[in-house]
Structures are given as C-alpha cells and as structure tokens.
Structure 1
Amino acid sequence: MAIIVNLDVLLAQRKMSVTELSERVGITMANLSILKNGKAKAIRFSTLEKLCRVLDCQPGDLLAFQDEES
C-alpha cells in the first residue's frame, strides 16, 4: 500500500497503549489494529480528527505517502 500509517510510532512517542487509544478515541481494538497494520482501505475524517486530537498530532504525522513504483 502506498499510504503508510505511523500509528505505532506516535503511540510509542506518547507512551500510550493501543488499549488506551481505543478507549480515548472510541474506536474498537479491531479497527485500530486494522489501521495500525496497514490493512485499512479508508478512514473517515471524523476518525482521523479524533486520532489527531488524542495523539496531539497533524494528519501528516499519522499518514505518509510512499511511492511503490520507485
């Protein structure tokens, strides 16, 4: 996938567990796992906003583009 989700990095930097993030954002552990492992096909802006609010980050901190062709 060309979009990389840096959720693990942000969680480590903030010393926060996936369980804590799940509770604070209101997203199931299963859905966070799908997002964290790069298996998600889409993300709602409302979910992205909640993640950014809880992790105190910008969308660009959470998501990155990596060109698969190069």
Structure 2
Amino acid sequence: MNEEEFCRALKLNAENPRKNEENRLSKYGMGLKDAWIHLGDICEIESSALNETALRSVKIDMN
C-alpha cells in the first residue's frame, strides 16, 4: 500500500476508489477493522508498496 491507501485502510467506512472492480475485497471499507476487532485488543499493521523502500506501520490499542 502507498501512503494514501494505508491511511484509507485505517479509516472506518472509507470509500474504496476501486470498489466497482470485480472480486474486490474490502468493498465496504470495513474488512481490516472488523478482522482486528475480532482477533484482539491490540493491532499492529505494517505495509509497503511494491517497488518502494518506505515501510508504514501503526499500532492500535483498543484498551
């Protein structure tokens, strides 16, 4: 993910600009958030885009 996609992935109900593509996950912008809520109270996400050296990370503590 690039920086814009990373920020959008963390926002609740963020509109996906590719939502009309066939077979897309996260069609409604809730998949990542719903998954971590069910897996535990702390979520750590790391991501980088293809052909980029930048690593983006965030740690969310629901407590």
TM-score in same-fold range (> 0.5): no
Q: Which has the higher helix share?
A: 1
Higher Cα radius of gyration: 2
Higher relative contact order (CA 8 A, sep 6+): 1
* Superposition TM-score, scaled by structure 1 size: 0.28
Greater strand proportion: 2
